Chain A
Amino acid sequence: KQEVTQIPAALSVPEGENLVLNCSFTDSAIYNLQWFRQDPGKGLTSLLLIQSSQREQTSGRLNASLDKSSGRSTLYIAASQPGDSATYLCAVYAGNTPLVFGKGTRLSVIA
């Protein structure tokens, strides 16, 4: 059974700092991995999707990497801003099974 773990559970950083969020999964037979952002009490916004054949994806200040063989992904946020404060979730998709989510990392960026 696929399990997704995100470390740390919570993170507080000063504005301007670069940071890395970690996601690990137990079964490397995935189709893709997706990073989402969730603001309090809100739905999810898809940030980046990495196919199993890819190693990274970039969007603006965000860069997500994937090492499928080791079951790891990282989300790198450059020059963090208070507006980046949210919960970040990673989820893996194995084709014909439901998306499996981690519990998320709650990020606070202090001005």
Chain B
Amino acid sequence: SAVISQKPSRDICQRGTSLTIQCQVDSQVTMMFWYRQQPGQSLTLIATANQGSEATYESGFVIDKFPISRPNLTFSTLTVSNMSPEDSSIYLCSVLEYPAGPEGEKLFFGSGTQLSVL
């Protein structure tokens, strides 16, 4: 299975600043996703990071607030812009893999970035 390195693992930021989260995969993957998990809530998909083109955002998320880069098949970044306390969440990148065997496609996650905005 893919090994996903995500950094930073946690950060405390001031209101109005921006933070860029990096996600590095040890193999080439087609599908990369960014999720958010607000305190006490389930995971919500922010966007699908497409290699070589703009990310596809889910309802409620916009590029100006969460710009995403995907320069190649092993790397992506998510920026949380102009942060407010409501952005305090865990942010996770994930990849879709197709392991050998009958299981079919499977989603793997990075270790997450715990963001606190003061």
Q: Do A and B come from one complex?
A: yes
Tell me the A residues contacting B by CB distance below 8 Å.
4, 31-32, 34, 36, 41-46, 49, 51, 89, 91, 93, 98-99, 101-104
Q: How many B residues, CB 8 Å from partner?
A: 25
Q: How far is the CA of A103 from the CA of B106 in the complex (A)?
A: 20
Contacts A4-B42, A99-B45, A104-B42; A43 near B111 (Cβ below 8 A): yes
Contact partners of A93 in chain B: CB under 8 A: 105, 107
Decide: A103 and B107 in contact? CB cutoff 8 A.
Answer: no
Contact partners of A91 in chain B: CB under 8 A: 43, 107
Decide: B107 and A99 in contact? CB cutoff 8 A.
Answer: yes
Decide: A42 and B102 in contact? CB cutoff 8 A.
Answer: no
Nearest A residue to B108, CB-CB: A46
With A44-B109, A45-B109, A91-B107 known, 18 other A-B pairs at CB within 8 A are: A32-B105, A34-B107, A36-B109, A41-B10, A41-B90, A41-B112, A43-B90, A43-B92, A43-B110, A44-B43, A44-B112, A46-B106, A49-B106, A51-B103, A89-B43, A98-B33, A99-B107, A101-B44
Decide: B6 and A98 in contact? CB cutoff 8 A.
Answer: no
Contact partners of B106 in chain A: CB under 8 A: 34, 46, 49
Q: How far is the CA of A44 from the CA of B112 in the complex (A)?
A: 8
Provide a sorted-by-A list of 30 A–B residue pairs whose CB atoms are within 8 angstroms: A4-B42, A31-B104, A32-B105, A36-B109, A41-B114, A42-B111, A42-B112, A43-B6, A43-B90, A43-B92, A43-B111, A44-B92, A44-B109, A44-B112, A45-B109, A46-B106, A46-B107, A46-B108, A49-B104, A51-B102, A51-B103, A91-B107, A98-B33, A98-B45, A98-B58, A99-B43, A99-B107, A101-B42, A102-B42, A103-B42
